Amino acid sequence: MQAVTGKQISFTYEYDGVSNPVLEDISIEIEAGEFIAILGANGCGKSTLVRLLNGLLPLEKGELKVWNLDPRQESRLWELRRLCGMVFQNPDNQFVSSIVEEDVAFGLRNYDTPEEEIPERVGRALSLVGMQEYERYSPHMLSGGQKQRVAMAGVLAMEPEILIFDEATSMLDPQGRREVLACLKQLHEMGKTILMITHYVEEVLDADRIFLMQKGKLLKSGSPREILTDRELLTQAELIPPLAVRIYYDLKDSGILLDRCPLTNEELVEELCRLK
Amino acid sequence: MSFLPAGSYREGDSILHKMDPFCKLLCTLLFLTAVILSDTFPGYLLGAAGLLAVTMVSRLGLRTALSGVKRMWLFFCLILLMNTAFFETEQTWWEWWIFRFSADGLIQGLQVVLRVAMAMVLGNLLLSASSPLELVGAMESLMYPLKFVGVPIRDVAMILGVAIQFIPAFSEEAETIRKAQTARGARFESRKLSEKAGSVVPLVVPIFLAAFRRADELAMAMEARGYRRTKGKIRKRRRHLSPADGIGLLLCVLFCAAEVLL
């Protein structure tokens, strides 16, 4: 099943009578259960693209279907938002309540979920992100990674099919980032469709496919190996390749050729060990 | 991990925590009205005793109840000074230019300070013993009659609830900005009033900007989680009033009547 189908999507921000095109002719297809990473430098239109998916921004030009729903169809917008959950960058600015369980239940109450179902669904969502012990805590008392996992539980409680992470790791320390990425991987293994926006190349190694964006355009889509080992392509997108790829090209420039371009540090070690 | 700022909800299972939020809000408003209407020192003493009793019942501790009051010392001093120097009375201690220092003014100032401090303690106790969304629900119920004159009570209750919840976040943010500005040479510790007033600007501007950014991001996150102005409920279904709620409300009414009569 197709989770997302988009054809020739364009979007322009108007400010003070000046038009600023942010997305130009973007066409994408995402299968249900895929883990897609949307990679690009700041201001390349990644967030705008995903905000069109759940109707937070109005679709101006092009065709878009998300789980067979059209974001232009006002009457089904709320159904679309339940199916397409979104976790934002700053966990502190997503909390509606200062108690974890109340905050996680916020989305459920918005959808008139029977009150007797709520505790079970809140508990299940918190367990999924490993935060079940913190349900009576105040988010202020949690670390960055824990806060973001609570924000994820708030979205998971609504049982969405597609999960969008809009730079959800960018404000976290390495430990918090690891925690969130582990949760994300686990959700993907459970069959959820994941869309992850980031500008950190190291975070997208586990993705099924990468959409590489640059200045409002889809530069290329492909597997992490295809995209991340292409130094010229990443440079064009104003991104820095992963460490292993950088070392591979540095060695190549110095006349030392490895059998293949490694993507991870482990692969790099393997390749270096094969050198005679 | 960080400490909970003043006005944050603190988990507990005291009678005050378990009380119906609507009853709790109603009692707080009654108590507040009684404190404002009271203008004798026996009345204030009774008010203070009442607050002490509520603090003990809440099991939140005096430190939580008084949190934030200490920080207001400058405001309290200003109120005392203004009242002492400008109160209209025949019997003055000393007059100079437009200033008329008097004992009546000092007493009036003390009364205002006491009222404000008691209102703050009351607010602290209410916020510390009620979860934010419960409070939003209670406010919505309390404002229900206004619905018939076209007031969007759901929106107003949500705005008030979010604003209350963001008070601790803003105090944290203000502290961060203060430290950042101090690192860039701003002087907040100056004893001169003119310098102190001037130093507020580099604090207020970033706080306002941060508030707008926060509001924008929160609105988007709420919308993404299905918040609508017309549908859905924003808090737990209200519990039925328990006998304890009724007793609490009755005690509060009796206390307030005594306070006003004194």
Q: Are residues A265 and A216 in the same domain?
A: no
Identify the residue with better confidence: B83 or A152.
A152
Q: Are residues A111 and A212 in the same domain?
A: yes
State the nearest Cα–Cα gap between B29 and chain A, in angstroms: 22
Interface test with chain B among A89, A92, A98, A150, by most B beta carbons within 10 Å: A98
Q: Are residues A67 and A158 in the same domain?
A: yes
Please, are residues A259 and A271 in contact by the beta-carbon 8 Å criterion? yes
The pLDDT of residue A139 is 84
Mean pLDDT of B175-184: 82
Query: Residues of chain B whose C-beta is under 8 A from some C-beta in A?
Result: 1-2, 4-5, 8-9, 11, 131-133, 162, 165, 168-169, 172, 213-214, 217-218, 220-228, 231-237
Q: Mean pLDDT across chain A, nearest whole number? A: 92
Q: Are residues A76 and A156 in the same domain?
A: yes
- Contacts for B158-167 with beta carbons within 8 Å, 24 or more apart? B158/B234, B160/B136, B161/B132, B161/B133, B161/B135, B161/B136, B161/B234, B162/A96, B162/B218, B164/B7, B164/B127, B164/B132, B164/B135, B165/A95, B165/A96, B165/A97, B165/A98, B165/B132, B166/B211, B166/B214, B167/B5, B167/B7
Choose among A192, A180, A185: nearest CA to A156.
A192
**Per the CB < 8 Å rule, is A140 touching B4?**
yes
A97, A110, A141 member nearest B227 (Cβ)? A110
Q: Over the stretch B214-236, which tens digit does the pLDDT of each residue have?
A: 888 888 899 899 887 665 555 55
Residue tagged 């005690």 (tokens): B251
Asked if pLDDT for residue B254 goes beyond 80, the answer is yes
By C-alpha distance, the chain A residue nearest B160 is A96
Which residues from A are below 8 Å from B162, CB to CB? 96
CATH number at residue A23: 3.40.50.300
Asked if pLDDT for residue B178 goes beyond 70, the answer is yes
Q: Are residues A254 and A148 in the same domain?
A: no
State the nearest Cα–Cα gap between B156 and chain A, in angstroms: 15
Q: Are residues A250 and A229 in the same domain?
A: no
Q: Are residues A72 and A160 in the same domain?
A: yes
For the ranges A24-38, A175-189, B110-124, B167-181, the lowest mean pLDDT is seen at B167-181
Q: Over the stretch B5-64, which tens digit does the pLDDT of each residue have?
A: 666 778 788 888 888 888 889 999 999 888 888 878 888 888 889 899 999 988 888 888
Asked if pLDDT for residue A82 goes beyond 90, the answer is yes
The pLDDT of residue B5 is 62
For the ranges A80-84, B185-189, B202-206, the lowest mean pLDDT is seen at B185-189
pLDDT band with cut points at 50, 70 and 90 for residue A50: very high
Q: Are residues A274 and A137 in the same domain?
A: no
A98, A111, A141 member nearest B132 (Cβ)? A98
Q: Please state the pTM of the whole predicted model.
A: 0.77
Asked if pLDDT for residue B1 goes beyond 50, the answer is no
The pLDDT of residue B233 is 59
**Per the CB < 8 Å rule, is A93 touching B218?**
yes
Asked if pLDDT for residue B2 goes beyond 50, the answer is no
Q: Are residues A233 and A270 in the same domain?
A: no
Q: Are residues A112 and A227 in the same domain?
A: yes
Q: Are residues A142 and A248 in the same domain?
A: no
User: Tokens for B261?
Assistant: 């009569």
Burial class from Cβ neighbours inside 10 Å (0-12, 13-18, 19+) for residue B123 reads middle
Q: Are residues A160 and A65 in the same domain?
A: yes
Mean pLDDT of A52-70: 92
B5, B8, B225 member nearest A106 (Cβ)? B225
What is the domain count for chain A? 2
Asked if pLDDT for residue A43 goes beyond 70, the answer is yes
B131, B165, B217 member nearest A90 (Cβ)? B217
pLDDT band with cut points at 50, 70 and 90 for residue B210: confident
Q: Over the stretch B114-154, which tens digit does the pLDDT of each residue have?
A: 888 999 898 888 888 888 778 888 888 888 888 888 888 88
Identify the residue with better confidence: B40 or A103.
A103
Mean pLDDT of A102-130: 92
Q: Residue A69 is part of which domain span?
A: 2-238
Cα gap A143→B118, rounded to integer Å? 34
Asked if pLDDT for residue A16 goes beyond 50, the answer is yes
Which residues from A are below 8 Å from B226, CB to CB? 78, 81-82, 107, 110-111, 158
Residue tagged 């883990």 (tokens): A35
Q: What percent of chain B has pLDDT over 90?
A: 4
Q: Give the orientation angle of helix B73-86 with respect to helix B103-129, to 10 degrees.
A: 150
